[in-house]
Chains A and B, each alone.
Chain A
Amino acid sequence: MHKELLQQLAQAVIDGNKDQAETLTNQLLDAGLEAKAILDNGLMPGMDVVGQRFRDNLIFVPEVLIAARAMKASLAILEPLLAASNAPQVGTVVIGTVKGDIHDIGKNIVIMMLRGAGFRVVDLGIDTPAEKFLQAAREENADIVGMSALLTTTMGYMKTVIERLKAEGLRVKTMVGGAPISPAFAEQIGADGYAKNAAEAVDKAKALLGV
């Protein structure tokens, strides 16, 4: 029975059916399934399919957002239970749009996809100075610091953040993304990872943590 409901939950996420996702999440909890099992075996497989379809250009950003909305509704029910149970998470990502840049749509999509993949994500918002990245990385015990920038004039600040993280001796992986960013630029500034879209960001984050 669990298996069938979990499959239905995955499908509800794929279809972007928010109400159905909420209902199935509650049904699964009522049936005695742990929140972590619902996340791992219902939500994450659903978002995996969404990510794959996005990578294959079968669906587009607005459709990813619909799926993410369904996932978010289910996660809102599960998150307090996950926090209370101290269940292990895939990893913690601290993420923000770098200082001087006020664009956040791309970053927000990445956050939703990461959460759907089981990451704990701390959103630092926009116009984020290096100090804030450093502080959050320390306080949240982050595994990854993610940075987003939309323009060539702000992407250079990513290097400042990476240098500060290294100078402070923080053992954290760094990932960058955004319209003007290229793999070559990521390498040049010493980032550990680059992703060209939200689906790739999830793959890259998992690869960096070896999960």
Chain B
Amino acid sequence: MPTSTEREMPLVELRFSANELELDLAQVFKLLKLPRQHPQAEEWRRRIAAVVPRVRERLEPKAQYRIVPIEARLPERQTVVLAGEARFTGRGVYRRLAGCRHAAAFLLTLGHRLDSSLRQCNQDDPLDGYLSDCVAAAFTHSVLRRIEREVRQWAEARRLQLTPRYSPGYHGWPLQDQRPLFSLLQTETMNVKLNDQFFMIPQKSVSGIWGLKPEKA
């Protein structure tokens, strides 16, 4: 179990200006499911470039993360207890946090303004909507990279390494665990809410964890 000096880290809030977020074009191609060697790749780059300013001007990116200790593992319930307050349950999350002393819980959002704009875009022109949606998704990855960089620095200073990122709703981690995940953060300052089915509103939001475990000798 973590020592007292390693136990907690205060919640970290990250704010970005829309213009400082990088866009990884290769990632946009991947999200669009277009092969990078597509014969009209240049034409697609042009189309993507045309929607980027419209997406960027509606971005209100915010993120926060908190590194918390893993306090107990309850094998009979496939449950992991974090920071004395949150319980994650399920075979997937239990297995993925095996050997971890901490978990970094995070939440990011691109904001409400983008959501309504994407909805409108989809109505007006599905191609534009699809391109804009994939560009927005690529911006979430840009924010994710920033969070991951900070968490990795914290971890490496303590000779810990990050497990792959993992989110409720994926690979056997029930979406209901958005609730305990949100309880580790201060979601009201992010203006992100869960609906009855535990989906995040705004839609272009990402939540999840990295496990932090000792580096191999």
**Cβ of A61 and Cβ of B199 under 8 Å apart?**
no
- Please report the C-alpha to C-alpha distance between residue A104 and residue B196 in the assembled complex, in whole angstroms: 18
- Please report the C-alpha to C-alpha distance between residue A152 and residue B125 in the assembled complex, in whole angstroms: 28
B198 an interface residue at 8 Å Cβ cutoff?
yes
Q: Contacting B127 at CB < 8 Å: which of A60, A62, A99, A100?
A: A62
- Please report the C-alpha to C-alpha distance between residue A151 and residue B34 in the assembled complex, in whole angstroms: 23
B-chain residues with CB within 8 Å of residue A104 when the two chains form the complex: 122
Q: List 19 A-B contacts (CB under 8 A).
A: A60-B34, A61-B130, A62-B44, A62-B47, A62-B131, A66-B127, A69-B127, A100-B196, A101-B197, A101-B199, A102-B195, A102-B199, A104-B122, A105-B122, A105-B126, A105-B133, A109-B126, A153-B174, A153-B197
**Cβ of A100 and Cβ of B126 under 8 Å apart?**
no
- Please report the C-alpha to C-alpha distance between residue A171 and residue B198 in the assembled complex, in whole angstroms: 33
B-chain residues with CB within 8 Å of residue A69 when the two chains form the complex: 125-127
B-chain residues with CB within 8 Å of residue A65 when the two chains form the complex: 126-127, 130
Q: Contacting A108 at CB < 8 Å: which of B34, B122, B196, B199?
A: B122
Interface residues of A, dominant DSSP: helix
- Please report the C-alpha to C-alpha distance between residue A105 and residue B125 in the assembled complex, in whole angstroms: 11
A-chain residues with CB within 8 Å of residue B84 when the two chains form the complex: none
- Please report the C-alpha to C-alpha distance between residue A62 and residue B133 in the assembled complex, in whole angstroms: 12
B-chain residues with CB within 8 Å of residue A112 when the two chains form the complex: 126
Identify the interface centre among A68, A99, A151: most chain B CB within 10 Å of its CB.
Answer: A151
Q: What string of 1s and 0s marks CB contacts (under 8 Å) between A149-183 and chain B?
A: 00111100000000000000000000000000000
A-chain residues with CB within 8 Å of residue B38 when the two chains form the complex: 60
Interface residues of A in 74-109 (CB under 8 A from B): 99-102, 104-105, 108-109
**Cβ of A100 and Cβ of B122 under 8 Å apart?**
no
Q: Size band of the A side of the interface? A: 20 to 34
Nearest CB of chain A from residue B191's CB, rounded to whole Å? 17
Since A104-B122, A108-B129 are in contact, a sample of 15 more A-B pairs with Cβ atoms closer than 8 Å, ordered by chain A residue number, is A60-B33, A61-B130, A62-B34, A62-B47, A62-B131, A65-B127, A68-B126, A69-B127, A100-B195, A102-B195, A105-B130, A108-B122, A152-B169, A153-B175, A154-B197
- Please report the C-alpha to C-alpha distance between residue A160 and residue B126 in the assembled complex, in whole angstroms: 29
A-chain residues with CB within 8 Å of residue B175 when the two chains form the complex: 151, 153
A-chain residues with CB within 8 Å of residue B195 when the two chains form the complex: 100, 102
Nearest CB of chain B from residue A89's CB, rounded to whole Å? 22
Closest A-B pairs by Cβ, 9 of them? A100-B197, A65-B127, A153-B175, A108-B126, A60-B34, A65-B126, A62-B32, A60-B33, A69-B127
A-chain residues with CB within 8 Å of residue B196 when the two chains form the complex: 100
Nearest CB of chain B from residue A80's CB, rounded to whole Å? 20
B203 an interface residue at 8 Å Cβ cutoff?
yes
Q: Contacting B35 at CB < 8 Å: which of A60, A68, A101, A105?
A: A60
- Please report the C-alpha to C-alpha distance between residue A195 and residue B20 in the assembled complex, in whole angstroms: 41
Nearest CB of chain B from residue A105's CB, rounded to whole Å? 6
- Please report the C-alpha to C-alpha distance between residue A68 and residue B131 in the assembled complex, in whole angstroms: 15
B-chain residues with CB within 8 Å of residue A154 when the two chains form the complex: 197
A-chain residues with CB within 8 Å of residue B199 when the two chains form the complex: 100-102
A-chain residues with CB within 8 Å of residue B47 when the two chains form the complex: 62
